[in-house]
Amino acid sequence: MIRSDIIRGHLDSIILSLVLEKDRYGYEISKEISTRTNDRFQIKEATLYAVFQRLEKKELIESYFGDVSKGGKRKYYRITTLGKAYLKEMVIEWQEIKEIVDLFMEGLE
């Protein structure tokens, strides 16, 4: 299991990248994160919704209600133009972080 504090600083980018692919609702995002990481990382629902609030406040995503499905209307999230620009910057920053950490970690296993 991956220490969640290490990933926490990158949750915005992870969620933005998932809504960049297509509009998604909360449970779908948490399932997708679990699936793609082979259950090595799971996001708690409270954490996920805190990230949604933060991203919406910064106008990086916007929400809307989809059609009524089993049990009610689902709230979907879509990335905004600002969100796409922000994610692009985060990708560049992540590349730099990876390169720097690799300088010290490679060859230590």
Q: Domain residues of the chain, as ranges?
A: 4-105
Considering the domain 4-105 in this protein, what is its CATH number? 1.10.10.10
Q: For 59-85, what is the mean pLDDT?
A: 91
Q: What is the pLDDT of residue 71?
A: 74
- CA end-to-end span of the chain: 18
Mean pLDDT of the chain: 92
CB atoms within 10 A of CB 91: 12
- B/e letters for 69-86, b = 16+ CB within 10 Å, e = fewer, are eeeeebebbebbeebeeb
Q: Which two tokens stand for residue 103?
A: 């300088």
Q: What is the pTM (predicted TM-score) of this model?
A: 0.88
Per-residue pLDDT tens for 22-65?
Answer: 999 999 999 999 999 999 999 999 999 999 999 999 999 999 99
CA distance 16 to 61: 8
Residue 4: which residues within 8 A CB-CB, separation 6 or more?
41
